[in-house]
Structure 1
């Protein structure tokens, strides 16, 4: 299974917005923070805005905000907003596939893979990911402080 760059960038951008929801963020700042090509991200934001997942504000204090609460935006919804179909096999939906002979059971497998992936991504929200990122940053900061304290004691 392959996640498109558009889907990856869209999820990362929304998590960045969720992590700092006190002010609008510019596309440039999000691209820089997440190491995403700026021009590519601008086109991703057009799709996200069309889907109502972000809203924009013009002007010197402008930028992007989440269109809804981060806890209500699922990863599956984001992926569908930027990629269209959620899961395809050679560009076809699994339910329309048919294979001859010994491979005739394969479409059922593809439907199962789609169902499992959709279930996981539909229950994972942008808010969940932002919280996980904040927890990871706190753990990393605490580990850095402990390492610095240990180095100071041994010095």
Structure 2
């Protein structure tokens, strides 16, 4: 499970689109909302559209809106759909997928940490984030580059 800039921008774009009464937005309006260039916003919207989280408006293909209701989108689904580097997409076994007795210590710890993180994210929906019941703060999650890798402790004070 990765947390990269594109996924952070994707989650923030989805939060922005899931606000109650929010109309469909163009790439330029989304870029203004995210504070990035329109090229970066277009790349994120393209990725969200490929993953089935965002769809083009029926009347105007330049407008984007959510493909599903915010209550139906769990955060773990966003990570899974946007993560290109998932092992099962490349038809490889994930690290630590063998029998429990054959997993080395650190791999077992990181596999457990990823399982806990996935469980936590599966209970949190996009509607929770949009209504402020939960908060997605990429600064506090900066240390988690990838479950299974070493955290970047230099970012912490």
Query: What is the TM-score with the length of structure 2 in the denominator?
Result: 0.67
Number of residue pairs matched by the alignment: 126
2:116 counterpart residue number? 116
Structure 1: 4+ residue segments shifted above 4 A: 58-62
Give the superposition deviation at 1:84: 2.6
The two structures have a TM-score, normalised by structure 1, of 0.68
Gaps of 5+ in 2: 88-92, 134-157
How far apart, CA to CA, are the structure 1 residues paired with 2:12 and 2:66? 13
Task: Name the SS for the 2:129 alignment partner.
Answer: helix
Counterpart CA distance in 1 for 2:81 and 2:67 is 13
Corresponding position: 1:25 with 2:25:
yes
Q: Does 1:6 align with 2:6?
A: yes
Which protein has the bigger helix share?
A: 1
Could you tell me which residue of structure 2 aligns to residue 130 of structure 1?
A: 130
Task: Identify if the C-alpha distance between structure 1 residues 63 and 20 changes in structure 2 by more than 3 Å, giving closer, same or farther.
Answer: farther
Taking the TM superposition and a 5 Å limit, the aligned residue runs for 1:55-94 are 55-57=55-57, 62-85=62-85, 93-94=94-95
Q: Return the offset for 1:74.
A: 1.5
State which structure, 1 or 2, has the greater radius of gyration over its C-alpha atoms: 1
| Larger deviation, residues 58-67 vs 13-22 | 58-67
Q: Distance in 2 between matches of 1:117 and 1:41?
A: 27
Q: Distance in 2 between matches of 1:123 and 1:55?
A: 24
Higher relative contact order (CA 8 A, sep 6+): 2
Match of 2:96, SS state, is: helix
Q: CA deviation at 1:124?
A: 1.2
Shift of residue 34, structure 1, vs aligned partner = 2.0
* In structure 2, C-alpha distance between the alignment counterparts of 1:61 and 1:96, rounded to whole Å: 42
Mean alpha-carbon deviation: is it higher for 7-16 or for 27-36?
27-36
User: What is the SS of the residue equivalent to 1:19?
Assistant: coil
